[in-house]
Amino acid sequence: MFLDGDIQAVAAAGSWNGLTSRIDMNGAFTLSVPSDVVVDPGTIVSLKNDTGGPLNLTLSPDPFGDADTDVESLADKTIFTVMYVSDAIGWIPFGTATLT
pLDDT digits (tens, 9 = 90+) for 11-41: 888 899 999 999 999 999 999 999 999 999 9
pLDDT at 84: 96
Within 10 A of 70 (CB to CB), how many other CB atoms are there?
A: 18
Q: What is the residue type of 97?
A: A
92: in domain: yes
Number of domains the chain contains: 1
- For the entire predicted model, the pTM comes to 0.90
Would residue 50 count as lying in a domain?
yes
Residue 51 lies in a domain: yes
Answer yes or no: is 2 within a domain: no
Residue 3 placed within a domain: no
In a domain, 62, yes or no: yes
Torsion of CA 71, 16, 96, 58, to 10 degrees: 0
Given this model, what pLDDT does residue 49 score? 94
Q: Return the CATH number at 34.
A: 2.60.120
Residue type (1 letter), 44: I
Nearest CA among 20, 93, 19 for reference residue 59: 93
Tell me whether residue 84 is in a domain: yes
Q: Which domain holds residue 90?
A: 8-98
| CA separation for the pair 55, 1 (Å, rounded) | 26
pLDDT of residue 39: 93
Please indicate, yes or no, if residue 94 is contained in any of the structural domains.
yes
Q: What is the pLDDT of residues 34-87, one digit of tens each?
A: 999 999 999 999 999 989 899 999 999 888 877 777 899 999 999 999 999 999
